[in-house]
Amino acid sequence: MSQSHDLNRRGFLAGASALTLAGGAAHAQAAFPTRPITLVVPFAAGGSTDIVARLVGQKMTELLGQSVVIENRGGAGGNVGSTAVARATPDGYTILMGTISTHALNPAILKTVTFDAVKDFTPISLLALVPNVMVVHPSFPAKTVKEVLEVLRANPGKYSYASSGVGTPLHLSGELFKSLGKVEMNHVPYRGAGPALNDVVSGAVPIMFDNLPSSAQFIRGGQLRAIGVTTKERVSSFPELPTIAEGGLGGYETYTWNALFGPAKMPADIVARLNKAANDALKDANVKKRLNDVSAEIVGSTPEALGEHVKVELAKWAPIAKASGAVVE
């Protein structure tokens, strides 16, 4: 065999090997995910964010062919879990169920800022907008917004309200109610909406501003009495329930939202894969029905639209959060 022929053969084999490796790499990249994905919920189990995560995550598991495992990492109003995702490897295997709290309120009230809501995350999809609701234990002596205001004014500082943590939307919902209604209530913060809700259902704390999805079953079951929804308009799942504004507290409005984020600098193709799976999950008939049952408004956005949404929310809520005086250590 001549030297030139041998060199040509070696060149051919080297080229074929390179093509094989390149093809293998492309195949591996296209095959994402090849192992389970961890979806961090930065609050305790049982709250609205947890409910949305489990509904969407279960369907994403079917669509992606790999388990989407929910990991509840509560603490500091969602800051603990969010920080963990911000610092994770940006390979798509650790993602976050972010909220108005993690990406609009915390940046304004954290004593020590451990992440940048815009720069430290990759937006994936805005999933849903969620109304809040004011609920009371059935033993509380009021059934309407006006009656609640009368009771609180007649008993300043006697009653307390529970929330999912200092600086969360549920906390600020209560502070806004106090401010507009010129009433006094004691704030009792918990490590998530689930534990707070349990104490209100048991009667340990009489009042709570909660996300409607997590309170809906208790309202329908009679364990909680709904006073009013916090949105501008009534919701389809409880059409007879007035808004707090129309119930007697003009100008009152709060809400929350749920969205998927990854760490900064995630590859575009992985973001696209997760975005498609999340948005397709929202189109599933069962997922749509269950979210509609609790009046969550389904969105399903592009990554770019979620990125813009976060910037708008930061500008809107930062002044309100700071005015509340809330500080998360």
Last residue of a domain, one of 211, 229, 247: 229
Residues 198 and 268 in one domain: no
Q: Is residue 239 one of the residues assigned to a domain?
A: no
* End-to-end CA separation in angstroms for the chain: 76
- DSSP-assigned letters across all residues of 112-130: S--S-TTTTEEEEEEEEEE
Asked whether residue 22 is assigned to any structural domain, the reply reads no
Residue 138 and residue 286 share a domain:
no
pLDDT at 329: 63
pLDDT tens, position by position, 215-246? 999 999 999 999 999 998 899 889 999 999 99
Q: How many domains does the chain have?
A: 2
Element (H, E) at 187: strand 186-189
| DSSP reduced 3-state for 261 | strand
Quote the radius of gyration of the chain (alpha carbons, Å): 24
Residue 266's contacts (CB-CB under 8 Å, 6 or more residues apart) are: 90, 91, 92, 122
212 shares its domain with 199: yes
Shortest CA distance to 49 belongs to which of 95, 100, 123? 100
Cβ-based neighbours of 56, under 8 Å, separated by 6 or more:
127, 278, 281, 282, 287
| Whole-number Cα distances in Å, 145 to 81, 141, 243, 253 | 35, 12, 9, 14
How far apart CA 81 and CA 83 sit, in angstroms, is: 5
In a 10 Å sphere around its CB, with 0-12 CB exposed, 13-18 middle and 19+ buried, how is residue 43 labelled? buried
Residue 270 in domain: yes
Q: Give the CATH number for residue 295.
A: 3.40.190.150
Residue 25 lies in a domain: no
Q: Are residues 124 and 139 in the same domain?
A: no
Distance CA 67, CA 70 (A): 9
Per-residue confidence (pLDDT) for residue 6, from 0 to 100: 52
Residue where the block lists tokens 């947890």: 50
pLDDT of residue 328: 64
Residue 30 lies in a domain: no
Spatial CB neighbours of 241, under 8 Å, sequence gap ≥ 6: 133, 226, 228, 229, 234, 235
Question: Whole-angstrom Cα distance, residue 142 to residue 266?
Answer: 50
Residues 6+ apart with CB under 8 A from 57: 39, 68, 69, 70
**289 is a domain residue:** yes
Taking the C-alpha atoms of residue 285 and residue 276, their distance in angstroms, rounded to an integer, is 16
- Tell me what pLDDT residue 253 has: 87
Can you read off the two tokens belonging to residue 261? 């984020």
Q: How many CA atoms lie within 13 A of 185 on its CB side?
A: 31
In the 8-state DSSP scheme, what is residue 204? S
Q: Give the CATH number for residue 179.
A: 3.40.190.10
Tokens coding 194: 């689930």
Phi, psi of 212 (to 5 degrees): -60, -40
Give residue 277's pLDDT: 98
Q: Is residue 238 part of a domain?
A: no
The per-residue pLDDT for 148 is 98
Residue 218, in any domain of the structure: yes
Same domain, 135 and 215: yes
Do 126 and 305 contact (CB within 8 A), yes or no? Answer: yes
d(Cα 36, Cα 91) in Å, to the nearest integer? Answer: 12
Residue stretches of the chain with pLDDT short of 70: 1-30, 327-329
What pLDDT does residue 81 have? 95
- Provide the domain limits for residue 164: 131-229
